[in-house]
Amino acid sequence: MIKGNERVGADVPIRELLGDEVLDVLAERSKDEAGQLRLTGADSMLGQLVKAVLSAPWRAS
């Protein structure tokens, strides 16, 4: 949930939650040797996002 906003996290676009800069860094770090975006595997963008979500402390609303 975003403080000061009535919209719930699920309703907010990911770019608004994380920001372009964070997504750009994740995309750059997730490229393979050929410069292609890796979407699977431990060091992929999706892998990093899942790891971040699962390791985040859960807070009661």
pLDDT of residue 59: 59
* pLDDT the model gives residue 30: 83
pLDDT on residue 57: 80
Q: How far apart are CA 15 and CA 17, in angstroms?
A: 5
Look up the pTM and report it: 0.53
What burial letters (b/e) apply to 37-53, b meaning 16+ CB within 10 Å? eeeeeeebbeeeeeeee
pLDDT recorded at residue 1: 45
Q: What is the pLDDT of residues 2-57, one digit of tens each?
A: 455 555 556 888 888 888 998 888 888 888 889 888 888 767 878 877 887 888 78
In whole angstroms, what is the distance from residue 45 CA to residue 21 CA?
A: 14
